[in-house]
Amino acid sequence: MPTAKIIANWKNKVYDAVYWLEGEEPFYIDQVVEFAEKQLLPEAEQAFNLSIFYGKDADWAEIINACKRYPVFAEKQVVIIKEAQHMGQIEKLLPYIENPLSSTILIVAHKDKNVDGRSALAKALKTKSVHVSTKKMYDNKLPEWVMGFIKERGFQINPKAVQIIVDHIGNDLSRIQNELDKLIINIGDRKNITEDDIEKYIGISKEYNAFEFQDAVAQKNFSKAIKMIQYFESNHKAAPIQLILPTLYAFFNKLYSIYGLGTQDERRIASEVGIAPFLVKNYMAATRHYSYGKVEHILLLIHEYNLRVLGINDASNSDADLLKELVIKIMDTSAK
């Protein structure tokens, strides 16, 4: 069951006895836990009927005792275990999960990993609980997620502005949400979000960022790329090399995959390679600058320079020097 469905059910007074939320993506787990903590019970009932435990300090016996209590002057009580992945002897909860009290709503937030699927606990969770396993969102799904997030709140944002955000922040959904919430509060009644808003309220330059740098390299615009490197050298937070290299690698890796498909069909390319549809033309344009063999060589180059950033086979060059060297080699027409 998706986490949005859980919250929708709760709003409609539909409850299950046990909710087990686990996996690599904490964003959705946090959404459910926050709603349970703040809105599942009326404020007047929370003092007596809301119990919160933290995995590292939680004792399984105390949790079961809390779950077996009856609510005080209410129909339901809520028991939440946060950071349950740090809880010792968590398998001791199994007898309660197999036979829970109907007046208790138990919510377990088990972040970062899943329970061992071979265990008796994991097998019970599949039939005795509302079990949700979250996965990290793939990078190619982030633009769509951001667009949906903005649309749900009644705002519009252009695709380029979306790409600037996801390239800079990555797939940290909680951080993206925080930045977008801050942005929405600041723009007031206006409904259209622009690159200027992102620069002003999130602090990502609309001209000097990882996406624009990638675009300059893709277009083989040497002067623009060097100008941006000079800016990055003076403004380290704008686009550190640790952000730029993975961005470039992801771009050329997708370009490599496009060559492997052997098609010009933009819809198929977007679907099979995992590219936001509005960006496919950028990739197709890049194929006119970089041959299949050249792309293969560039991927090896980026790997080499990533090692040099870590100090392997390079102990003296600055990040800016390394980027300049890399750009020169990428755009070198003699190596194909």
pLDDT tens, residue by residue, 217-236: 999 999 999 999 999 999 88
pLDDT, averaged across the chain: 91
Tell me the residue type at 61: A
- Interatomic CA distance for residues 43 and 45, integer angstroms: 5
- Interatomic CA distance for residues 152 and 65, integer angstroms: 41
Q: What is the CATH number of domain 139-202?
A: 1.10.8.60
> Helix, strand or coil for residue 123?
helix
- Interatomic CA distance for residues 146 and 156, integer angstroms: 10
Q: Could you tell me if 62 and 96 are in contact, meaning their C-beta atoms sit under 8 angstroms apart?
A: no
* Topology at the third CATH level for domain 3-134: Rossmann fold (3.40.50)
Please report the pLDDT score of residue 331 as a whole number.
93
R_g of the chain computed on alpha carbons: 25
pLDDT exceeds 60 at position 335: no
Based on DSSP, count helices (H) and strands (E) in the chain, helices before strands: 17, 7
Q: Domain limits of the chain? A: 3-134, 139-202, 210-331
**What φ, ψ does residue 66 adopt, rounded to 5°?**
-65, -40
Q: Does domain 210-331 have CATH number 1.20.272.10?
A: yes
Task: Please provide the DSSP assignment of 262-322 as one string.
Answer: T---HHHHIIIII--GGGHHHHHHHTTTS-HHHHHHHHHHHHHHHHHHTTTT-SS--HHHH
Centroid of chain to Cα 333: 37
- Interatomic CA distance for residues 60 and 318, integer angstroms: 52
- Interatomic CA distance for residues 11 and 3, integer angstroms: 13
Mean pLDDT of all residues in 22-37 = 94
pLDDT, one tens digit per residue, over 98-125 is 999 999 999 999 998 888 888 999 999 9
> Helix, strand or coil for residue 252?
helix
Residue in 89, 63, 87 with CA at minimum distance from that of residue 77: 63
Q: What is the pTM of this model?
A: 0.75
> Helix, strand or coil for residue 231?
helix
Residue in 245, 235, 253, 264 with CA at minimum distance from that of residue 299: 253
- Interatomic CA distance for residues 34 and 84, integer angstroms: 15
pLDDT, one tens digit per residue, over 134-191 is 988 888 788 889 999 999 889 999 888 998 898 888 888 999 999 999 999 998 888 9
How would residue 334 be classed by pLDDT, with cut points 50, 70 and 90? low
- Look up residue 141 and give its DSSP letter: G
80-114: buried (b, 16+ CB within 10 Å) or exposed (e) per residue? bbbbbbebeebbebbebbeebbebbbbbbbbbeeb
